[in-house]
Amino acid sequence: MDFQVVVLAGGASKNLTPLVSEEIPKALLPVANRPVLSYVLELLESSNLKDLIVVVEGSDAALRVGGWISGAYVDRLHVEVAAVPEDIGTAGALRAVAHHLTASDILVVSGDLVTDVPPGVVAATHRRHGAVVTALLCDTPISGISETGSKDKAKKLGRYNIVGLDPTRQFLLLIASGAEVEKDTRVQKSILGAVGQMEIRADLMDAHMYALKRSVLQEVLDQKDSFHSIRQDVLPYLVRSQLRSEVAKIEEGWNTTITSKTNLIWLSQHREIAPSAFHNGHELDANGSLSAQSTHKCCAYIAGKNKYCARLNSIQAFIDINRDVVGEASHLSGYSFSAQNNVVHPSAELGSKTTVGPQCMLAEGSKLGDKCSVKRSVIGRHCRIGSNVKIVNSVVMNHVTIEDGCLVQGSIICSNVHLQERCVLKDCQVAALWKVPQSWRLKFKLSYLLSGFV
Amino acid sequence: MGPKKVARSASSDDPEELARVPLQAVLLADSFATKFRPITLERPKVLLPLVNVPMIEYTLAWLESVGVEEVFVFCCAHSNQVKDYLNKSQWTKPPSSFSFSVSTIESHDAISAGDALRVIYNRSVIRGDFILVSGDTVSNMDLTQALEEHKDRRKKDPLAVMTMVIKHAKPSSTTLQTRLGTDEIIMGIHPETKELLYYEDKADHLQRVILLDKTLLMENPALRLHNDKQDCFIDICSPEVLSLFTDNFDYQHLRRHFVKGLLVDDIMGYKIFTYETHASYAARVENFRSYDTISKDIIQRWTYPFVPDVQYLGIGYQAKLERQGIYRAPDVILSRSAHVGAFSFVGNGTTIGDHSHISTSVIGQRCVIGKNVVIESSYIWDNVTIEDGCKLSHALVCDGVHLRAGVILESGVILSFKVEVGQKLVIPAYSKVSVLPQPCKQDSDEELEYADATSGVIESPSITSVANARNQDLLSDMLDVPGSDANKVGISGVGYIWSVSEAEHDEEWRFSIAPIPKEKLEKFSHSAHDDNDEVNHDESSIPASGELIPDSDGTDFDGGVGEDYRDSADFENEVEATFRRALAGVDVQNVILEISSLRLSYNMSHADCAGALFYAIMKSASDISYSNNTELSANTKMEINKWKNLLKNYIKSQDEEIEVIMKFEEICLETIREFRPLFTDVSMWLAQTSIASG
């Protein structure tokens, strides 16, 4: 398949402080004790997309990501790691690697995507319609349900995008993202006029996997310097301008406008009935060359309800994904689960009367003392956990020491943290290397722990 | 509250009816619009013949066919004519009305559909769900399913007060008009429940985007937006609708006020649903274009069984369908050399002379058409005399019109009742001619059809005498002269050519019987294209999709940050520009004034001013040429000294001092790196000049 893949792995994302740091950029955050990036890479590998460019923000982070990839995928994937400055934005990142892009179509994937939708399907949809851009849309993940969480409430939480689709649900006619979602939605009448009816959905999420036509992508990136993000600038721009593509400026005057107009009418008549017919005729109109093109197509591939699709872009998402990957979406983790529906590494040591419940993971070399209880949590490598410790709905990374009598609930404990005796942490995130003194009780929803707290 | 009262009063009248409420319908025999003027000045719209049968007949026949048992005809303008007509018609005669009764409700001061419904409410005649239609509806749809759906919904959700019938109809993408000549309607419909969530008619074409309120999508995860649906103006309503109109006494228009009011204001959570009909016919005669389209549809039998050759609709005779869709009444005298083309209708008692040529036209009863007359795509009503050699295309000619020899009607001409046109006149396209003078009062917003004897519109003295007096003028200038309301229709002609205002004239072609001329289409597509370009421009200038929002890794970001940042950058630039004017010799006092006003307009603090000003000073200092750091330091000190009075205006407390030092730090780090080595030096100097206390 003549697709080049760009994986945007991000850097030290601000949204994920304090989980990310110089040592652990976003791409290497553990999801079920594997770096999150590995999920995307293995997914791509399974679709036989092996020619990858991984773009990382910040050169230190790039070195680390590169080091990890070359260690893990040395003979499996052909990966180039490119470092770009921080805060360059996704569009900027693509600009920076644009000269490496040679294939006719580019697949852009966010490095924080955890999904089982094969990228090949998106690529195939893209090719079938000859689209300029094809975006993967998935159901909005239901976040933050714990054992008692009511589903109705959780459903209202997630509104990521507002998406307009044609009646066949193949064409993307409107997309609003970010802050715009909360504003009034603006629908272009010309696009509505062309299709007749448009389905507007607020329950779909843009999963950040795009197939893009390289020539168009490069033109847009060149022409629009202000474009910062693919999701917020490039994609909405392409969708907005699909009936009057500015991607290729027509400067032949009246005659061409007539043809473009007839093209539009033609499109309006045919799009509804036979989207694929519209594709063929469109090619005729365009004479096969992009410069004569006056409309372009933006397509969407909607992942089925049974597919898992989530992005690790917030702390809540981090907890959710970790829970799901060892829980309901366990096929993603690549581990084989025991009869108790959990994964306990053979080298892990459990004290007497210690229970590890279902949907848990205990990585190699970790030791648990007596009378511990672990429920729906992921515990990393070489952790030392004392006696009478309760860990519920939490993620504990590597080399963490938890002393006796601690309670950890709904929290994220980063690597090398030391929790002294009888700490109680609820809904906390503890950054790497911290030492939490004896008997601390933290019940607040702290987004991060700052200096001054040792 | 309202409906209960109605129910009670009804039950006291008629206790056995409690078990089964007869299906009722309200027929509005007044369109409350002026689209059919000047014809409607003399005859109500519902009585205008559509393929030789008054429109109201189609509506009543359809209502009977869907099982309506009681019809209330609301008449307002020309109510006497409507009542007279109904009294004479088959509908009110005992034999035909075994389970179908027609009664009239009359009001003279109703000026809108809202008023009409309020009057009906006060009469307390509606006992259950009813069908609301206007008297110009042509349909053959079966309402059973829609009624059932409505009733089922009502059982589950008493707030579902109305079901609107819609039909697929795609507007042309160039004119944005359906084939009925109505403007495109944009509807937002819930994909599963079919609830109507958004309704926009009279769409403003210049506005190229539809704004959907954010709450709309918050409450509904999905919404289907249509512009390919036509509103049939057939509504199944619950009695609450009437009380809603009474409660909201400012509601006038059914759609613009009532539907929008329910959708936008969310009154008591009442909901409107839609029912889409697929195969059957439903349309409303709204303007001359839909008159033309529906006439053709009837002739082409889309409205079966309501077609001319089926014995129906009190026409009095049965037309015979011949080949090529030609309907001919039994008693037509057709010259051997005359030719009647396809899809035409020739009414009873009409005579057509030699070598006349008629195509796709409807000709009424007792017309006399002379020799060598060409009639194409026109509608000729009853008792019309057309003398030899006339040419008519896409014209509408009402009862009793007399066209003398050689008259040419260009496309889109409307001749109202009893107009007479003098010899060899050419009536220009889209003219409207009436024997009545144009009412000088132009109803601006709510177009009323109100030409009953109660109104003062037709108070001119003897019409013919006026017309004849004018006829003594010359006949040369036939074109509309804005401002003069009467123009001649030739020697021995009777009638006025109505002048149309500039704005209306532009719109005239949109609703006319005549097809839209080619050049208009071209112009339209051209302008539509321009529109697109414009939109493109302003869209790219407005960050419609948050183009200015920095977004490092694709996670949600608040737009406020970007805006704020831009504001402060603007502010700094402005202050710098002002400072440069001071350098160029503007009085210091004026500069202070300007900066103060900038501070207010950008909503900045004194500290911001001090910082920005300091930045400007440092920049000017760095602009002076220097060879080494000592020289730069000296320049800087000199500049600071020079402007310290200005700067001190804004340094009132320690906060501002800190701001200046911070600003200096920022300058050294980011903008003018040359100052780096001088940081301590200049800071000391700032302390000395008591700008900063150190």
DSSP string, B97-164: -SS-EEEEEE-SS--SHHHHHHHHHHHT---S-EEEEETTEEE----HHHHHHHHHHHHH-TTEEEEE
Mark yes or no for CB contact A90/B226 under 8 Å: no
For chain A, how many helices (H) and strands (E)?
11, 33
Phi-psi region at B193: left, alpha or beta (left = phi > 0; alpha = psi -120 to 50) = alpha
**What is the structure's pLDDT at B380?**
93
Range from A385-389, B239-243, B486-490, B494-498 carrying the lowest mean pLDDT: B486-490
User: What's the mean per-residue pLDDT of chain A?
Assistant: 77
Residue A359 pLDDT greater than 80, yes or no: yes
Q: Long-range contacts for B615-620 (Cβ within 8 Å, ≥24 apart)? A: B615/B572, B615/B575, B615/B576, B615/B663, B615/B667, B615/B671, B616/B572, B616/B575, B616/B576, B616/B579, B616/B580, B617/B579, B617/B643, B617/B647, B618/B664, B618/B667, B618/B672, B618/B675, B619/B576, B619/B671, B619/B672, B620/B579, B620/B580, B620/B583
pLDDT band of residue B374 (cuts 50, 70, 90) is: very high
Do A145 and A8 share a structural domain? yes
Do A345 and A219 share a structural domain? no
Helix (H) or strand (E) holding A229: none
Residue B379 pLDDT greater than 90, yes or no: yes
Domain of residue A116, CATH code: 3.90.550.10
Examine residue A330 and state whether it is found in any structural domain, yes or no.
no
Do A84 and A153 share a structural domain? yes
Facing A186 at nearest CB: one of B526, B544, B551: B544
Stronger pLDDT, A294 or B471, i.e. the higher one: A294
Between CA A258 and CA A295 the distance in angstroms is 13
Examine residue A135 and state whether it is found in any structural domain, yes or no.
yes
pLDDT band of residue A187 (cuts 50, 70, 90) is: confident
Examine residue A290 and state whether it is found in any structural domain, yes or no.
no
**What is the structure's pLDDT at A286?**
36
Q: Give the count of beta carbons closer than 10 Å to the beta carbon of residue A428.
A: 24
Q: pTM of the full predicted structure? A: 0.69
Best of A160, A184, A267 to mutate (most B CBs within 10 Å, chain B): A184
What is the chain B residue with the closest CA to A201? B222
CB B285 within 8 A of CB B136: yes
**What is the structure's pLDDT at A443?**
63
**What is the structure's pLDDT at B690?**
67
For residue B541, list chain A residues with Cβ-Cβ distance below 8 A. none
Q: Give the count of beta carbons closer than 10 Å to the beta carbon of residue B629.
A: 14
Q: Give the count of beta carbons closer than 10 Å to the beta carbon of residue B566.
A: 11
Residue B485 pLDDT greater than 60, yes or no: no
Kindly state the DSSP code that residue B211 receives in the 8-state scheme: E
- What's the mean pLDDT in A328-353? 81
pLDDT band of residue B581 (cuts 50, 70, 90) is: confident
- Between positions 103 and 122 of A, the ones with CB within 8 A of B are 110, 112
Q: Closest Cα partner for B311 from B528, B90, B497?
A: B90
Domain range for A182 is 3-242+296-311
Length of chain A: 454
Residue A399 pLDDT greater than 80, yes or no: yes
- Between positions 168 and 187 of B, the ones with CB within 8 A of A are 170-171, 173-174, 176, 184, 186
Examine residue A256 and state whether it is found in any structural domain, yes or no.
no
Do A10 and A152 share a structural domain? yes
Tokens representing B458?
Answer: 């037709």
pLDDT band of residue B132 (cuts 50, 70, 90) is: very high
Residue B456 pLDDT greater than 50, yes or no: no
Facing B225 at nearest CB: one of A8, A200, A202: A200
Residue type, A46: S
Output the CA angle B671-B677-B682, nearest 5 degrees.
Answer: 85
CA atoms within a 13 Å half-sphere pointing along the CA-CB vector of B407: 31
For residue B551, list chain A residues with Cβ-Cβ distance below 8 A. 89-90, 178, 228-229, 231-232
Strand partners, B375: B358, B392
- What's the mean pLDDT in B620-645? 78
Mark yes or no for CB contact B225/A258 under 8 Å: no
Do A215 and A83 share a structural domain? yes
Examine residue A414 and state whether it is found in any structural domain, yes or no.
yes
Facing B210 at nearest CB: one of A192, A231, A246: A192
**What is the structure's pLDDT at B384?**
93
Do A368 and A303 share a structural domain? no
pLDDT band of residue B544 (cuts 50, 70, 90) is: very low
Between CA B52 and CA B58 the distance in angstroms is 11
Q: Give the count of beta carbons closer than 10 Å to the beta carbon of residue B587.
A: 10
**What is the structure's pLDDT at B672?**
72
Domain of residue A377, CATH code: 2.160.10.10
Q: Closest Cα partner for B79 from B91, B71, B69, B87?
A: B87
- Between positions 278 and 337 of A, the ones with CB within 8 A of B are 313-314
CB B78 within 8 A of CB B69: no
ipTM: 0.73
Between CA B450 and CA B211 the distance in angstroms is 36
Do A184 and A108 share a structural domain? yes
Do A140 and A215 share a structural domain? yes
**What is the structure's pLDDT at B204?**
61
CB pairs under 8 A between A and B: 184
* Helix segments in B168-283, DSSP class H: 214-219, 239-247, 260
**What is the structure's pLDDT at A264?**
47
**What is the structure's pLDDT at B614?**
81
Residue B560 pLDDT greater than 60, yes or no: no
Mark yes or no for CB contact B214/A182 under 8 Å: yes
Mark yes or no for CB contact A57/B553 under 8 Å: yes
**What is the structure's pLDDT at B542?**
39
Between CA A226 and CA B550 the distance in angstroms is 10
**What is the structure's pLDDT at B566?**
54
pLDDT band of residue B570 (cuts 50, 70, 90) is: confident
Mark yes or no for CB contact B545/A177 under 8 Å: yes
Instruction: Collect all residues with Cβ–Cβ distance below 8 Å to B84 and sequence separation of at least 6.
Output: none
Between CA A139 and CA B345 the distance in angstroms is 59
Facing B221 at nearest CB: one of A198, A201, A236: A201
Examine residue A254 and state whether it is found in any structural domain, yes or no.
no
- What's the mean pLDDT in B188-197? 88
Kindly state the DSSP code that residue B389 receives in the 8-state scheme: T
Do A65 and A145 share a structural domain? yes
Burial class (CB in 10 A: 0-12, 13-18, 19+), B250: exposed
Range from A6-20, A319-333, A412-426 carrying the lowest mean pLDDT: A6-20
Q: Closest Cα partner for A365 from A31, A33, A23?
A: A33
Most confident region among A193-202, B68-77, B684-693 by mean pLDDT: B68-77
Mark yes or no for CB contact A226/B554 under 8 Å: no
User: What's the mean per-residue pLDDT of chain B?
Assistant: 76
CA distances from A411 to A12, A95, A442, B290 (A): 20, 38, 10, 68
pLDDT band of residue A101 (cuts 50, 70, 90) is: confident
Mark yes or no for CB contact B224/A198 under 8 Å: yes
pLDDT band of residue A444 (cuts 50, 70, 90) is: low
**What is the structure's pLDDT at B273?**
92
Q: Say if strands A3-10 and A51-57 run parallel, antiparallel, or are unpaired.
A: parallel
Mark yes or no for CB contact A13/B555 under 8 Å: yes
Do A374 and A226 share a structural domain? no
Percent of chain B with pLDDT over 70: 77
Cis peptide before B158 (omega within 30 of 0): no
Examine residue A276 and state whether it is found in any structural domain, yes or no.
no
- What's the mean pLDDT in A187-214? 84
Q: Whose structure tokens read 């090719």?
A: A127
CB B428 within 8 A of CB B478: yes
* Exposed e or buried b per residue across A368-382, where buried means at least 16 C-beta atoms within 10 angstroms of its C-beta: bbebbbbbbbbbbbb
Examine residue A132 and state whether it is found in any structural domain, yes or no.
yes
What is the total count of domains within chain A?
A: 2
What's the distance, Cα to Cα, between the start and end of chain A in Å?
53
CB A409 within 8 A of CB A429: no
Tokens representing B395?
Answer: 């014209």
Do A180 and A90 share a structural domain? yes
**What is the structure's pLDDT at B351?**
92
Residue A241, classed as helix, strand or coil, is: coil
Do A301 and A406 share a structural domain? no
Facing A197 at nearest CB: one of B208, B226, B549: B226
Alpha carbon B9 to chain centroid distance?
Answer: 39
**What is the structure's pLDDT at B312?**
57
